[in-house]
């Protein structure tokens, strides 16, 4: 039994029953309208929230990508200077003493760029640049010495006899790496060209240059660079 039937049984006037029915229908219609309106407002609010979050995430992603690009550019610049420095170190180890000026240039540039980009690449990276250039610069103060062992190793390598004769007069006489040409003066250029690296490889290098420590710090920096290349910066790192 519905409400209208109940009212009629209670002998409520028909006009009042009709009025109550109309009012009830209006209230029901209004409630349904307000419910639909609230639902539509909630949907719009949710859509607005989702759109705001989407735009925020896109902006964050752009900032992350831009920071990563800047980091790659910074790494490229610093690494180029370090490669120039290392290239000079290797040439000095091979007896090319005119590379001393290239080493100084690479050292200055690498440290300047490392300091400039420290906030982007991190303190550990900058410290690694300082250590590599410090240890590597030790070669400028080191000396080569021809020893009996040097001649023995060169003889095993079957170098030209003229090399052994020339170097025999220089046994036990330390020569600055920056003046290494003095060791090979007098050796015919044609003969020297194919044997120069062996000559200085078998000479004794003084402790001012620690080659093991130098290679270790190069490896540490390489691992650090590889790690940075694999890892995108987090939103919390973006300034």
- What is the count of structural domains for the chain? 1
The domain in which residue 175 lies consists of 143-205
Say how far apart CA 107 and CA 131 lie, in whole Å: 11
User: pLDDT value at position 238?
Assistant: 45
Tell whether 155 is covered by a domain.
yes
Tell whether 27 is covered by a domain.
no
User: pLDDT value at position 239?
Assistant: 47
Say how far apart CA 228 and CA 125 lie, in whole Å: 10
User: pLDDT value at position 230?
Assistant: 76
- Sequence-distant (6+) residues with CB within 8 A of 83 are 106
105: helix, strand or coil: helix
Contact 85, 104 (CB under 8 A): no
- Residue 175 is classified by DSSP as E
Say how far apart CA 87 and CA 101 lie, in whole Å: 12
Tell whether 186 is covered by a domain.
yes
Tell whether 180 is covered by a domain.
yes
233: helix, strand or coil: coil
User: pLDDT value at position 56?
Assistant: 66
Say how far apart CA 223 and CA 90 lie, in whole Å: 21
Tell whether 193 is covered by a domain.
yes
Tell whether 189 is covered by a domain.
yes
Tell whether 167 is covered by a domain.
yes
Whole-number mean pLDDT of the chain?
83
Tell whether 46 is covered by a domain.
no
Could you tell me the mean pLDDT of each successive run of 10 residues in the chain, 239 residues long?
A: 53 55 68 70 70 63 68 90 95 95 94 93 93 97 96 91 92 96 91 91 96 95 86 51
């Amino acid at each position: 039994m519905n409400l209208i039937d109940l009212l009629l049984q209670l002998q409520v006037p028909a006009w009042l029953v009709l009025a109550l029915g109309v009012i009830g229908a209006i209230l029901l219609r209004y409630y349904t309208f307000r419910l639909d309106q609230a639902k539509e407002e909630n949907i719009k609010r949710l859509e607005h929230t989702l759109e705001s979050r989407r735009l925020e995430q896109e902006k964050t992603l752009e900032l992350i990508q831009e920071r990563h690009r800047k980091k790659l550019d910074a790494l490229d610049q610093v690494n180029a200077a370090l490669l120039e420095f290392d290239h000079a170190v290797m040439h000095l180890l091979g007896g090319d003493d005119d590379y001393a000026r290239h080493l100084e240039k690479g050292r200055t540039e690498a440290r300047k760029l490392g300091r400039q980009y420290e906030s982007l690449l991190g303190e550990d990276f900058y410290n690694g640049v300082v250590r590599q250039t410090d240890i590597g610069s030790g070669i400028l103060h080191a000396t080569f010495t021809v020893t009996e062992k040097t001649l023995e190793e060169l003889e095993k390598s079957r170098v030209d006899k003229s090399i052994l004769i020339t170097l025999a007069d220089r046994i036990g006489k330390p020569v600055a790496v920056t003046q290494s040409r003095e060791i090979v003066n007098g050796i015919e250029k044609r003969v020297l060209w194919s044997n120069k690296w062996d000559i200085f490889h078998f000479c004794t290098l003084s402790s001012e240059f620690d080659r093991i420590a130098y290679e270790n710090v190069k490896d540490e920096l390489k691992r650090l660079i590889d790690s940075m290349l694999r890892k995108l910066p987090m939103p919390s790192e973006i300034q």
